[in-house]
Structure 1
Amino acid sequence: MNIAVYPGSFDPITNGHLDIITRAAKIYDKLIVAVLVNVDKKCLFTIEERVNLIKKVTKDLKNVEVLGFDGLLVDFAKIHNSKVILKGLRTVADFEYEFQMSLMNSKLNPDIETVFMMTSSAYSYVSSSAVKQVARFGGSIEGLVPEELIAEIKSKF
């Protein structure tokens, strides 16, 4: 079985994230969306809330599983029998950072490959940080996040 792990903070999940998930679900037999505990970020949503939000918007994708994790990504991938870490990219700056991470992951476990997928151009400017800032100041986040999550995101402010 061809299994990929798509990791991220997803705080909150955006339409850019969902674009990557939907497209990757067509390529891999199983896609695990790995919601990480990022000690360097103060998250708006708890890990449980983030997992549940993603489950809500991916419920129709039968080969997608959503799990939370803490620790090394390569260890998580190995435990779940994945040989692929999928990373979504928006910009060259994303690539520079993710390329360094892929080299580190390769050093930690050379049996696991990192695959990069560009987000659709319609979402290249969308980030969770931007969504939170727009929502915090009462701006419209329609078109930036899945429609069914707008009320939950706005309720955090």
Structure 2
Amino acid sequence: MKIALFPGSFDPVTKAHVDILKRSLPLFDKVVIGIGLNSTKAAYLTIEKRKEMLRAVFANEPKVEVQTYEGLTVEFCKKINANYMIRGIRTVSDFEYEKAIAQMNHALVPEIESIFIVSKPGYSSISSTIVRDIMRNNGDVKQFIPKEAFDLL
């Protein structure tokens, strides 16, 4: 069984995340969305809210599962028997960052492959960080967040 992990903070989940995940589904038997708990980042949404939003967005995708994890992402991959890690690439700087992480992950656990999926042009400017800033300042984020997730805000 080909299992992939799609890791991130998903704080909040965006249409760009959804696009990357849906485009990766035909490649795998199962995709686990791993919400990483990062003690160095101040989360905007609770972990429970993020899980609820992701489960609502992917309610009709039987191959998708949502879990949380702490620690090294490659260790979580081993725990869930994932041999692949999905990463979205929006910009050249994303690529440089993700390439370095992928190379380090490969050095730690060689059997885990990083799969890069390039963002569609319409989604390349959408990031959770920017969406959070808009939310913090009472801006309208409806166009950046999937309807199922927006309805839960």
TM-score by length of 1: 0.92
Q: 1:48-99 CA distances to partner (integer Å, 9 max, x unpaired)?
A: 2211210110011110001000011111111111111111111111111111
CA distance in structure 2 between the aligned counterparts of 1:13 and 1:107, rounded to whole angstroms: 29
CA distance in structure 2 between the aligned counterparts of 1:136 and 1:152, rounded to whole angstroms: 16
Question: In 2, are the aligned partners of 1:3 and 1:29 still within 8 Å (CA)?
Answer: yes
RMSD: 1.2
The residue that corresponds to 1:122 in the other structure is 122
The residue that corresponds to 2:92 in the other structure is 92
- Give the deviation of 1:151 after TM superposition: 4.7
Q: 1:89-118 CA distances to partner (integer Å, 9 max, x unpaired)?
A: 111111111111111111110111111011
The residue that corresponds to 2:138 in the other structure is 138
- Give the deviation of 1:140 after TM superposition: 1.8
Q: 1:119-139 CA distances to partner (integer Å, 9 max, x unpaired)?
A: 111110001111111122232
Cα 1:152–1:136, aligned 2, differ >3 Å: closer, same or farther?
farther
SS in 2 for 1:67: strand
Q: Describe how 1:39-54 pairs up with structure 2 within 5 A.
A: 39-54=39-54
CA distance in structure 1 between the aligned counterparts of 2:151 and 2:56, rounded to whole angstroms: 13
Q: Describe how 1:2-151 pairs up with structure 2 within 5 A.
A: 2-151=2-151
The code of the aligned residue for 1:59 comes to A
- After superposing the two structures, state which structure 1 stretch, 116-125 or 136-145, moved more: 136-145
TM-score by length of 2: 0.94
CA distance in structure 1 between the aligned counterparts of 2:43 and 2:17, rounded to whole angstroms: 17
Question: In 2, are the aligned partners of 1:25 and 1:61 still within 8 Å (CA)?
Answer: no
CA distance in structure 2 between the aligned counterparts of 1:64 and 1:27, rounded to whole angstroms: 12
CA distance in structure 1 between the aligned counterparts of 2:97 and 2:59, rounded to whole angstroms: 31
Q: How many pairs align?
A: 153
- Among all aligned residue pairs of Structure 1 and Structure 2, give the percentage whose two residues are the same amino acid: 37
- Give the deviation of 1:143 after TM superposition: 1.7
- After superposing the two structures, state which structure 1 stretch, 71-80 or 133-142, moved more: 133-142
Higher relative CO (CA 8 A, sep ≥ 6), structure 1 or 2? Answer: 2
CA distance in structure 2 between the aligned counterparts of 1:100 and 1:39, rounded to whole angstroms: 21
Structure 1's unaligned 5+ residue stretches are none
- Give the deviation of 1:26 after TM superposition: 2.1
